[in-house]
Every structure is written in structure tokens, then in C-alpha cells.
A and B are shown apart, each in its own frame.
Chain A
Amino acid sequence: MLARRWVGTRVFAATEARVQLHDPLAIATSALVEGILIVFVWVLARDLLPYALFGSLVYSAFLIGQIVLSEAAYIRIEHHINELYHASPLSPEAYFLGLASGILLAFLPTTLGLFVLLEIVHPLTLPAFGSLLLILLAVWVFSSSLAYVISTLFKEMKALWSYGSLIVNLLGVPPPVFYPLTLWPEEWRPLAMLIPTSGGAALAEAAAGLQPLTGELVLLGAVSLALEAAAMFLFAVWWSHRSAREA
């Protein structure tokens, strides 16, 4: 019964990926912010480049949430495509996960490009690589789930853009995502570990031997990231079901 709820996810993900792939310019420019930051760091502080690359990967995974937010809202508000699918055997949760997965698939090339750069600048061991993948997955789950929920709350696109931009920049730029956690005062570091983006970046850098973290901070970061991702995903599943039918 539970498995039946997810039937169609793969197909809808393929549809959404195809929709995104028809717009290659949007995919190519999606890593523009990270690219510019990497160039600046390369020119101004080359020793911080590995941090910027880990940060870029985490930020890219987080940024996919903003694309989910725009796309989910756009096809609901402007196209009413959600109604076509919600009044069909495809479950609302399969619609949500299919949409988010399709966007992830389409935007993977930019992430892969960042992986290649990281491998050149700071080669990873297999465990570090595995840890990084898990971290990116958790960040993507968190941001896509949050984005989908938010996308259902708006009735017009204009208001949505500013909120999406605010969330991404608030959680992606000021916390230590693109720079080392050690630049933050020691008493603030637990707070950084609670934020999915900075916590994820610090964990990945620790796994890659780039910056040491205390056991407590690793535990705090890993547990909070896992819990935040799981909780947000479950909430988004519940919410997708609830919002499929207007009250």
C-alpha cells in the first residue's frame, strides 16, 4: 500500500528532467554564483579554494531547492499542471518527489563539474567521497522539501521570487559555507553545525581531512542534518497530500 503511493515517481521525475533539459541555458548558469566565488577565491586567497569548492557543492545542492520552489510554483500558478496530475492516479507525494528528483537529475552536470574541480584541488578518499555524497543528498532533501512546501503557499510568482532568494542567501552565504568554520567564534560553531548548509560543509571538510572538528561538533552536525532532512521530507510528504486538495 505504502509502495503504491510512490508509483509514478520515476516517470514524473523523467518528465521534469526533460522539461529542465529543454532549457540548457538555465542549467549552465545555475552555478554562476559558485563559479564567481571560486574565481575570486582563486585570485585572492588560493589556500581557501578547497573550502570554497566544498561550499560550492553544498550550496549547489541547497540551490536546487530554489529551483524546485520556482518550478513547483510556476507550473501550479501559471499552468495548473498540478491539477492535471492531482486529479489522476499519481499520488501527491509521487508528484512532489518526482518533481524534485527530476530537477536534481537535470542539474547534476553542474554538480559533477564542481566534483571534478574538487578532485583536482583536493583529492578525496573513498570514505570522504561517500560522506560528501550523503551530506549533499541530505542537504538536497532538506532544501527541496522545504521549497516544495513553500511553493504551495503563494498565489502569485512575484512574491515568491524574493522569499526564495532570501532563504537561499540567508542560509547559504553568511554562515560558514564558503569559508572555514574556524573563522567563526568558538561559541557560535554549534549554531553553524545546526544549519544544514554550514553544518554539511563543515562535516564534508572534516571527512576530507581539511579541517578538524571535535567529536561533539561532528555528532551535533551529523545528527541535526539527518534529523532536519528526515523531518522536512516527512512534513513535505504530508503537506503534499494535504495541499493537493484546496480547502
Chain B
Amino acid sequence: MEALRGVSLAIRRGERVALLGRNGAGKTTFLRIASTLLMPTSGSVRVFGHDVTSDPDSVRPLIAVVPQEGKPFFHLTPREQVYAYLRARGFPRDKARRQTEWAIDQVGLGDVADRLCMTLSGGQKQRTMVATVLATEAPLLFLDEPTIGLDPFARRSVWETLRHLTREGSTILLTTHYLDEAEALSDRLYIVEEGRVLVEGTADELKRQVGGSVRVSVRDGMSLRERLATFGPTVSEDGTVHVVTGPERVTEIVELAMRGGFSATVGPVTLEEAFLRVVGRSIDRD
């Protein structure tokens, strides 16, 4: 099976870049190749000038990875997990201790830092994994769905930590299927679908490509689709027609929908519309 086709992307030092796509789009495959965990059948990836295929030993000290569905050792505490990983990476004891405390604090695990990971919630386990990798201060971090399973507060805490790290000079490549995360966290993002990069840009650039600033969604409005298309680009999904238009046309569309007995909702264009427009279907749809 060909998981990736003609993917070409470049990440600059200090950037936070998101690969955004549905499950099975190829995000993780790319991330695993770039982080030396998967051998590509063709093509090349260079990390800080080192080829990941032919020279993985030069790449590995420069990177750290939060694997998808990664879990800490259940029989270690978060503090032990982070410290042990730093020591295995060659950190001296003192620095490993300092970095451990910093990372534990960054992800808000101070209260449970000495409890065995097996007793922690799913979100706390995930934060332990994120702390393990953050503590390394590796120049390039690969984070595969880093906030999956986290509550909104923990997610925002991780986002803030990642922003801090890039301010300090780290580069971050993350995969996500959370549109808000991609928008809030990435300097640039790539929308990946069926192993291809469909579009690349900042979240604002992608939203501008949609062709308007307001989205009107007409529920069960397929019979109106042709008329709705005269107001701007449309995307339909599960019987709902989304029209992207300017604010001056909103009243007309809503009146049209209501005359036909349909309900309509209005909101600003989000990354979701950009995704729908580019991919042709929702990020949550199988």
C-alpha cells in the first residue's frame, strides 16, 4: 500500500508546523519517516542537513518524538519517567533533575509527579509523555497527536509550553486532527489527504482561500444548492449545505432558506470550512 505520494514540505528552524488530516491520511507515516522510525521506499528527508535514511545516527540526537498512542512506563512515576529518559539521552544528573522539574511543572503534573503512572488518568499519562519529550529541549520535536485525550485546560497548557519552546528556538512538527489545535498552534500547516499534501499555508491564508469571511449553513438544504451557489462557494455534507460568502449577502441567504422552510446558522469562516473546501469532506468523517 502506498501511504505517501509526492509529499514535499520544508520546515524552517523555530517554526511550529502542523500536519492536519483525517485518520489514515498519511500524517503519522510522514512523521515516522522523518523521525527515523520508518524506512521510506523512495524519496528523501533531511533533518538539519542529515539524511534520515542514510544517516539516522546523526539525526537522532537532534530529535525527540511523542509517538501516537504512546504511554509512559506504568510502573514508573512521571518524575522517574522523565528523569530516566533524559539520563538515557546522556543528560548529566543535575541537568536531568532540573529539566525534569521544569517539564513536570510545564504540563501541570506537580501534584501527581510521584504517583505511579498506572494510577493516573489518560490525560495525565499523555501529559507525562509530552513532558518526557519537552524536557529534552531537542532542536526538533515530533509530536504525533500530542493532546489527544487531554481536557481543554491541559491542551492549552501543552500549547503554551510548545509556544515557549519555539520561542527558545525549538522546531516542532505535529500531527493533529483537531482543527482548533492546528489553528492555535501552528505557524504554518499542511492539509494531508490520502497520502498527498493538498494545500499549505498559514491558517489565515487557508481561510482566505475559501472565498469569503462568513459561513451560512442551511440544514437539509440540498434542494437549494444551485441557488445557494450563486452567493459563493458551497460545500455539502450530510445534507447540510455550507455557503461561504461576504457579510452583505447573509440576510438574503437566510431569507431564502427560511422561505423554503429550512433552518440556517451563521458564523465566521473557520479552518473547518477551509478543510471542507480543500478536502471535500469533514475532518471527522470516515
Q: Once the chains are docked, how many angstroms separate the CA of A244 from the CA of B32? A: 12
List residues of A whose CB falls within 8 A of some B CB.
Answer: 7-8, 11-12, 14-15, 18-20, 22-23, 75, 78-81, 83-91, 98, 244-247
**Does A87 lie within 8 Å of B36, measured CB to CB?**
yes
Q: Which of under 10, 10 to 19, 20 to 34, or 35 or more describes the interface residues of B?
A: 35 or more
**Does A87 lie within 8 Å of B39, measured CB to CB?**
no
Q: Once the chains are docked, how many angstroms separate the CA of A89 from the CA of B142? A: 15
**Does A90 lie within 8 Å of B89, measured CB to CB?**
yes
Q: Report the minimal beta-carbon distance from A120 to chain B, rounded to whole angstroms.
A: 33
**Does A87 lie within 8 Å of B37, measured CB to CB?**
yes
**Does B61 lie within 8 Å of A247, measured CB to CB?**
no
**Does B64 lie within 8 Å of A22, measured CB to CB?**
no
Q: Report the minimal beta-carbon distance from A92 to chain B, rounded to whole angstroms.
A: 10
List residues of B whose CB falls within 8 A of some A CB.
Answer: 32, 35-39, 56-57, 60-61, 63-76, 80, 84-85, 87-90, 116, 129, 132-133, 136, 142
Q: Once the chains are docked, how many angstroms separate the CA of A19 from the CA of B71? A: 14
Q: Which 8 A-B pairs have the closest CB atoms?
A: A22-B75, A83-B67, A15-B84, A80-B67, A87-B65, A89-B61, A80-B70, A79-B71
Q: Report the minimal beta-carbon distance from B134 to chain A, rounded to whole angstroms.
A: 13
Q: Once the chains are docked, how many angstroms separate the CA of A75 from the CA of B64? A: 18
What are 20 A-B residue pairs whose CB atoms fall within 8 Å in the complex? Answer: A8-B89, A12-B88, A15-B76, A15-B80, A18-B84, A20-B75, A22-B76, A80-B68, A80-B71, A83-B35, A83-B37, A84-B129, A86-B36, A88-B60, A88-B85, A90-B88, A90-B89, A91-B57, A245-B39, A246-B38
Q: Once the chains are docked, how many angstroms separate the CA of A88 from the CA of B61? A: 5
Q: Once the chains are docked, how many angstroms separate the CA of A87 from the CA of B85? A: 12
**Does A83 lie within 8 Å of B84, measured CB to CB?**
no
**Does B73 lie within 8 Å of A75, measured CB to CB?**
yes
Q: Once the chains are docked, how many angstroms separate the CA of A98 from the CA of B89? A: 13
Q: Once the chains are docked, how many angstroms separate the CA of A152 from the CA of B71? A: 18
**Does A89 lie within 8 Å of B90, measured CB to CB?**
yes
Given contacts A80-B71, A88-B64, A89-B61, whether A11 and B36 have CB atoms under 8 Å apart is no
Q: Which of B57, B68, B76 is in CB contact (< 8 Å) with A19?
A: B76
Q: Which residues of A contact B70 (CB under 8 A)?
A: 79-81, 83-84
**Does B90 lie within 8 Å of A7, measured CB to CB?**
yes
**Does A11 lie within 8 Å of B84, measured CB to CB?**
yes
Q: Which of B65, B68, B88 is in CB contact (< 8 Å) with A11?
A: B88
19 more A-B residue pairs beyond the given contacts A84-B133, A86-B60, A245-B56, with a C-beta to C-beta distance below 8 A: A8-B90, A12-B88, A15-B87, A18-B75, A18-B76, A19-B76, A79-B72, A79-B73, A80-B70, A83-B70, A84-B65, A87-B36, A87-B37, A87-B63, A87-B65, A88-B63, A89-B90, A98-B88, A245-B38
Q: Tell me which of B57, B64, B72, B88 has the highest count of chain A C-beta atoms within 10 A of its own C-beta.
A: B88
**Does B116 lie within 8 Å of A22, measured CB to CB?**
yes
Q: Tell me which of B69, B72, B85, B142 has the highest count of chain A C-beta atoms within 10 A of its own C-beta.
A: B85
Q: Once the chains are docked, how many angstroms separate the CA of A129 from the CA of B63? A: 47
Q: Report the minimal beta-carbon distance from B36 to chain A, rounded to whole angstroms.
A: 6
**Does B75 lie within 8 Å of A247, measured CB to CB?**
no
**Does B72 lie within 8 Å of A11, measured CB to CB?**
no
Q: Which residues of B contact A75 (CB under 8 A)?
A: 73
